[in-house]
Amino acid sequence: MSANPFDAPIADERSIEERELLEVAKEALSRPNASLEYCTMSVDETLRKLETDPKSGLGSIAEASRRKLVYGANEIVIEEDESLWKKFLSSFVEDRLILLLIGSAVVSFIMGNIDDAVSITLAIVIVVSVGFVQEYRSEKSLEALNKLVPAECHLIRCGQESHVLASGLVPGDLVHFKIGDRIPADLRIIEAVDLSIDESNLTGENEPVHKSAKEVNKDSFNDQPNSIIPISDRTCVAYMGTLVKEGHGKGIVVGIGKNTSFGAIFEMLSNIEKPKTPLQNAMDKLGKDLSLFSFIVIGLICLVGILQGRSWLEMFQISVSLAVAAIPEGLPIIVTVTLALGVLRMAKRKAIVRRLPSVETLGSVNVICSDKTGTLTSNHMTASKIWCLDSMANKANVLSLEKSKSGSLKNYLTEDVKSTLTIGNICNNASFSQEHGKYLGNPTDIALLEQLSKFDLSDIRPTFKKVQEIPFNSKRKFMAVKIVNSEGKYSLCVKGAFEKVLSQCSHYLNQKGKTEKLTQGQRDVIIETANSLASEGLRMLAFAKTTLPDSPTLLTEESVGDLIFTGLIGMNDPPRPTVKPAIEQLLQGGVHIIMITGDSENTAVNIARQIGIPVLDPKLSVLSGDKLNEMSDDQLANVIDHVNIFARATPEHKLNIVRALRKRGDVVAMTGDGVNDAPALKLADIGVSMGRMGTDVAKEASDMVLTDDDFSTILTAIEEGKGIFNNIQNFLTFQLSTSVAALSLIALSTAFKLPNPLNAMQILWINILMDGPPAQSLGVEPVDHEVMKKPPRKRSEKILTSQVLKRLLGTAACIILGTVYVFIKEMAEDGEVTARDTTMTFTCFVFFDMFNALACRHSTKSIFEVGFFANKMFNLAVGLSLLGQMCAIYIPFFQSVFKTESLSFMDLIFLLVISSSVFVFDELRKWWVKRTTSTIDAYYDIV
């Protein structure tokens, strides 16, 4: 089995067993390994020993390939301890009912009923095989889920940096990591800037650990057992699977795969069985309750039968077969397979569900909180407009950058415009990649670089030295860069949200390049212009600069001030085309959509209106981050019903929003991509992270990853989630109605002193149909898109609702009546029970079951609407089951096994007519339900 080494449980959610295991893990971690060896070595020694370079990494691809051959892939592969055959054989003895059946075969053999013994043995093999195959499929599909989010990393080899799968790393490789990343192997850190790493999934400690490149002094640990340096004290080592919480750095790979610290304990951690989903638990409980009920009924049948003087061997066989058939032991497995297959299907539709229980929760989501940039919008920024106070005087003179795609804008290059563009160039971390032939980096930065050529300007970053950067983040909302030019003059360039930047400006730059004092009136004009451009949906950035005294002192966020305003640039980031129809459907299904953005109110309102989020009155529908700061959770919970937009919000606000929504009992899906989004993602019922833009920290905290970062994929996931739930309800109806019908049939015939209408073998065959392919194929019924029109399912709603119960009892009654009718009719013809009579009854039951399965494909829609060919798996499963049934009645070998005889064509037609009644009955029920609900809908529409 190959496993995802990053799937370890989160520290604070550990159970007692997990804690005990962690104790054992601690012991495993204290054994010497690569991280212990290298943590006391200096950077130079490490580089020398691993023959690698601190700047360009391994020197040749050939050397990397050689090391891969020697050390293998960077994966933790757990050997299967049991062979498939052993597993198969052990499943014969694991189930007590199967043991009883084996017992009954042995008894039959001893009593000389060789036919029976052979038949029962054959049945046992088939029943066990079907169960085994299903369980194996369930295991395999669960395993496949682990591989859906492969670990990636930034590798530097032969001087080239690339983004690769972590499994390809070899010792000696140079890896670059930054805030939000997951460490891909055990690394000896050689460079660290403000680096702290969350090692909780390895050590259990929640506090991130500060790391540096300095080697550990071995002598300080002489008092430790065997002088081993504890794992948390190896401060120059970054461990595989841990998460970078702050800063960035570089490291040399010293341990991979099993030879990492994670590898040492992974085997133990993977032994912790994943908790079952609420649905799986409910199914387990249902299975147990039904078993108890069935055992009581079967016990009674057996007792009454023996008291009536029937053969005890026959009663024993019937009872055991009935127990096998009536107990839907396949139910939990089918639920797991359905969930897992559903998750794989979702992955194909770009939504990766990381935790199985989330599939169930998806159908209950009634609030979606979504980021704007990149999720609702395409994140393809283009600088659309530029405005400077002096050269453009009023907002009517805004210079459009889009219209002039062809011609040069050089003539517009006044000093203030030039400074604005230059600051955009300096405060910029995007870079041109020769390999890709385009700029790589933050879309805002890229858009700013792309403007330079329109003004015949070029990138001036190589001409000065960057001394310090205060990076942009969603809380700070600006970025500042301190530079020194060739003459040794220091200056500071700032770009960011216009309120933020403007509040630090005391002067402005005029079109001639002179600095002038900024009056209140001019300040108002800037704000008015920014707001007006934002109302067009543009994302506004302000630019400012200042000269600094010739000092190398480090700047802090607070010391940025007294700036000279140069201009504004408005960025266009169009909504994704798929979002509007998705929002329309979600709103129809009663889902409340909230946009959370760091952008200004006006930009947010414009985008919201473009994508169909209702903003009737911005005073009620929009809440700003500032107002949010003043509200308690209760106050927020009271007003949030009307709120559709949170503007100028920070990731920290997301936590308040989720808390308030959950307080109201809402089931919340929340999107996020940054490190600071992680707490809100964890708290939300469904945390949704972005596959492309998202950090590993956010992905780790989330329940679902959108591989295309697209909001509309959430709709797809909810739709699938609801579909899966409906499918589970449908095959539950099928299995339980078959089970009830089989049990009642034998109980009734015993009570009325009639001979048994089905023999043990026939009952076992029915069990295979009930637990096997037809039931499973109901689990893969394609999603009916109309599920989105229905309101979200209540979180507390049970799977076995009274409607499901009524439906299955009705169906079972229909099957019982039909089968008893055929049995009595056949028996009455000759006054005794012949092989023909049981063949007719048996085939009738099987036909009934197939029609029942067909009816169960949808709970409310007619199959004529759903389409007879929409579920190929179903048709195949039913086709094969019918073929099996034909073999059972026409092939001599099986005739002797099932004690059947050939039926005429007219017999089959007769049985088909009788058994189709269950389908007709259910179609009528669906028609009735539709009629009454549409009347109710119409009634509510009128009201």
Q: Which residues are annotated as catalytic?
A: 371
Could you tell me the smallest distance in angstroms from the CB atom of residue 658 to ligand ATP?
A: 14
Q: Closest Cα partner for 811 from 741, 913, 732?
A: 741
Which residue's CB is nearer to ligand ATP, number 385 or number 495? Answer: 495
Q: Could you report how far apart the first and last alpha carbons of the chain are, in Å?
A: 59
E strands present in 573-615:
592-596
Token representation of residue 339: 């969930």
Amino acid at 596: I
Could you tell me the smallest distance in angstroms from the CB atom of residue 539 to ligand ATP?
A: 5
Q: Are 361 and 686 in contact (CB under 8 A)?
A: yes
**Angle of helix 917-942 versus helix 905-915 axis, rounded to 10:** 20
- Residue whose token pair is 């120059």: 236
Could you tell me the smallest distance in angstroms from the CB atom of residue 713 to ligand ATP?
A: 16
Could you tell me the smallest distance in angstroms from the CB atom of residue 430 to ligand ATP?
A: 9
Could you tell me the smallest distance in angstroms from the CB atom of residue 395 to ligand ATP?
A: 18
Could you tell me the smallest distance in angstroms from the CB atom of residue 490 to ligand ATP?
A: 21
Could you tell me the smallest distance in angstroms from the CB atom of residue 792 to ligand ATP?
A: 24
Which residue's CB is nearer to ligand ATP, number 495 or number 699? Answer: 495
- Residue whose token pair is 């109201």: 664
Instruction: State how beta strands 515-517 and 505-509 pair.
Output: antiparallel
Which residue's CB is nearer to ligand ATP, number 542 or number 591? Answer: 542
Token representation of residue 599: 């952008």
Phi, psi (rounded to 5 degrees) for 187: -120, 140
Give the CA distances from residue 779 to residues 285, 544, 720, 772, 872, in Å, rounded to whole numbers and listed in that order. 20, 60, 12, 11, 12
Helices (H), 630-778: 633-639, 651-663, 678-683, 696-701, 712-751, 760-771, 773-778
Which residue's CB is nearer to ligand ATP, number 356 or number 448? Answer: 448
Instruction: State how beta strands 237-238 and 186-198 pair.
Output: antiparallel
Looking at beta carbons, which residue is closest to ligand ATP? 598
| Region of 709 on the Ramachandran plot (φ > 0 left; ψ -120 to 50 alpha; else beta) | left
Amino acid at 285: K
By CB under 6 A, name the binding residues for ligand ATP: 371-374, 442, 444-445, 472, 474, 477-479, 495-497, 539-541, 596-599
Which residue's CB is nearer to ligand ATP, number 58 or number 690? Answer: 690
Q: How many residues are given for the chain? A: 943
In a 13 Å sphere around the CA of 6, the CA atoms on its Cβ side amount to 27
Could you tell me the smallest distance in angstroms from the CB atom of residue 178 to ligand ATP?
A: 15
- Bridge partners of 369? 594, 670
Tell me, what DSSP letter sits at residue 519?
A: P
Identify the sign of the CA torsion 471, 568, 441, 56: negative
Q: Closest Cα partner for 547 from 565, 563, 533, 531?
A: 563
Helices (H), 240-277: 261-270
Quote the CA–CA distance of 328 and 741 in Å, as a whole number: 13
Which residue's CB is nearer to ligand ATP, number 377 or number 759? Answer: 377
Could you tell me the smallest distance in angstroms from the CB atom of residue 443 to ligand ATP?
A: 8
Which residue's CB is nearer to ligand ATP, number 22 or number 501? Answer: 501
Could you tell me the smallest distance in angstroms from the CB atom of residue 529 to ligand ATP?
A: 14
- Per-residue 3-state assignment (H helix, E strand, C coil) for 831-860: CCCCHHHHHHHHHHHHHHHHHHHHHCCCCC
Which residue's CB is nearer to ligand ATP, number 318 or number 447? Answer: 447
Which residue's CB is nearer to ligand ATP, number 155 or number 538? Answer: 538
Q: Are 381 and 439 in contact (CB under 8 A)?
A: no
Quote the CA–CA distance of 134 and 225 in Å, as a whole number: 49
Quote the CA–CA distance of 393 and 399 in Å, as a whole number: 11
Which residue's CB is nearer to ligand ATP, number 172 or number 598? Answer: 598
